[in-house]
Structure 1
Amino acid sequence: MAEAATLHHFAFDPASRAARLALGEVRLGFTENAVRPWEPDSPIHALTPSGLPPVLELTYNGRPLVLRGQAAILGFADDTASGVLLPGDAADRAEARRLVSWFERPFNDDVNAVLLHERMEKPLLRLGSPDARQLREGREALRRHLGLLEPLAGEREWLAGRRLSQADLVAAAHLSVLDYFGEAPWAAFPGLKGWYMKIKCRPCFRPLLGDRFPGVPPSAVYADLDF
């Protein structure tokens, strides 16, 4: 039994959001500790060698645990809930893992490293105004990736198959940050829009809708469940 759980996270870090969604989905209660990992004295540096959130500290069956990173936290959440975050079918599980890996590497490298750097990291680090060329390239990359996801959302009940999985939570974590900054072109991808509306209505998603980035209001549809 898990108890006394504390999640150290940054609200606009996709991996942190995925952890919050997974813990919320399996109803594992936790206290939130918001961290600012770019600051040298951030407490996150004492918790993980990477210096990056999320980190979950908890006691499980009387044993203290420190779970570092998205994979460890989502895996723990899934294990404690008897596998509800991965499909029962082996092929669907493989597809869920493929999609999680997709967001962790190519999507993160092609899209987040550009758009979130320009829209989020630059203001936080005071690196100046967003670069128009970089924004254009990041938006083009986002459309390419969403174009690959659109058929999946249109043909399947959930991204990896017949039931919600880690793939949906990780995808929603990434896309919700972009949605906050008004960078998600939902009108061009109706299948993904329908999928996002569905996951956005789940109880685990509600805390994310209250997140606010300093100096930047959310997009007009960010907190709208029926947009």
Structure 2
Amino acid sequence: MFTLFHHPFCPHSRFIRLIIGEYGLDLKLVEERPWERREAFLALNPAATTPVLVVEGQPPIPGAGVIAEYIDEVHGAEMGAKRLMPTTTAERIEVRRLMAWFNEKFFEEASHPLVTERIYKRFMSEENGGGPPSPDVMRAAKSNVRYHLAYIGWLEQTRNFLTGDRLTYADLAAAAHLSAIDYLGDVPWSEDAAAKAWYARVKSRPSFRPLLSEWLAGVPASRTYVDLDF
């Protein structure tokens, strides 16, 4: 049994949940508000960021990238054709490149500011950065979403999935970040048909169902969030 300290709208946490869902592993979820900096959580991850995976007999495993690599090392080979990390060096480089693109670049430029401004700040105290959302920050982040969406569409014109013919960590990372801001209605799906078609396929997978069932009181989901035929 894995225990994942997460926040429901943390894109990195969603990425790990999708991986675990694809592999059919048992998972216990513990919701964490990292800005509260609980002492018990800081003991697991002094950086006070989600997600953190706890596995019996192992030290706490912090961070989406480290967790993803751990799961591949421990469970990847046994998954055979369903393994989410390719076996050849060149393919693994491309998967890791796109994982970094979404978990770092997309996160910094789009998903993190939008989720922070529209969700996290609702629950944060003023001393922790809470308060009304910043229109300037949201405007810039929404603009950034557009070119990331166009990049996904460009990849999809030559590939079945983002890195090739099958689903990998790269697809799940991209879909996790998009799902968090799709809940808010901040993805302009009408601007790129290829990206939209790719996301619809990934979103229809069973591993996505737990994410689509989550709702935030006071912040209704967008029309496209749960619609598989959006």
Alignment match, 1:185: 188
* Identity among equivalent pairs (%): 39
Report deviation, 1:165. 0.5
Aligned to 2:55: 58
Alignment correspondent of 2:121: 122
Secondary structure, counterpart of 1:77 in structure 2: helix
Aligned-partner SS, 1:38: helix
**Aligned-partner Cα distance in 2 for 1:25–1:70:** 16
Q: CA deviation at 1:111?
A: 1.4
Match of 2:109 in 1: 110
Distance 2:136 2:194 in 1: 29
Query: Aligned-pair distance for 1:114?
Result: 2.9
Shift of 1:133: 2.7
Match of 2:64 among 70, 84, 89: 70
Q: CA deviation at 1:118?
A: 2.0
Count of residues paired in the alignment: 221
Q: Please, which runs of 5 or more residues in structure 2 have no aligned partner?
A: none
Over 3 Å off, 4+ runs:
none
CA–CA separation in structure 1 for the residues paired with 2:39 and 2:196: 36
Q: CA separation of 1:115/1:64 partners in 2, compared to 1, >3 Å: closer, same or farther?
A: closer
Change (3 A) 1:220 1:43: farther
For 1:136, the aligned partner's letter is: R
- 1:225: which partner in 2? 228
> Structure 1's 134 and 162: CA in aligned 2 closer, same or farther, altered over 3 A?
same
Matched, 1:35 2:38: no
How far is the alpha carbon of 1:85 from its aligned partner? 1.0
SS in 2 for 1:114: helix
The structure that is helix-richer by fraction is 2
2:147 is equivalent to residue 144 of structure 1 = yes
Contact 1:36 1:42 in 2 (8 A): no
Which of 150, 170, 175 pairs up with 1:167?
Answer: 170
**Do the aligned partners of 2:4 and 2:27 also contact (CA within 8 Å) in 1?**
yes
Q: Root-mean-square deviation (CA), in Å?
A: 1.7
CA spacing shift, 1:42–1:19, aligned 2, 3 Å: farther
Give the 3 Å change call, closer, same or farther, for CA 72–87 of structure 1 in structure 2. same
Taking the aligned partners of 1:64 and 1:90, their CA distance within structure 2 comes to: 27
| Structure 1 range deviating more: 69-78 or 159-168 | 69-78
Structure 1 unaligned segments of length 5 or more: list them.
none
Q: 1:147 to 1:128 in 2, by over 3 A?
A: same
- Asked if 1 retains the 8 angstrom alpha-carbon contact of 2:111 and 2:180, the reply is no
In structure 1, C-alpha distance between the alignment counterparts of 2:214 and 2:39, rounded to whole Å: 20
Q: Which residue of 2 aligns with 1:81?
A: 76
Moved more, 137-146 or 81-90: 81-90
CA distance in 1, matches of 2:22, 2:70: 13
Separation in 2, partners of 1:43, 1:188: 44
Q: Does the aligned pair in 1 maintain the 2:5–2:30 contact within 8 Å?
A: yes
The 2-side partners of 1:46 and 1:157 are apart by 42
User: Residue 42 of structure 1: CA displacement?
Assistant: 6.2
Three-state SS of the structure 2 residue aligned to 1:155 is: coil
Please, what TM-score do these two structures have when normalized by structure 1?
Answer: 0.90
Q: CA deviation at 1:97?
A: 0.9
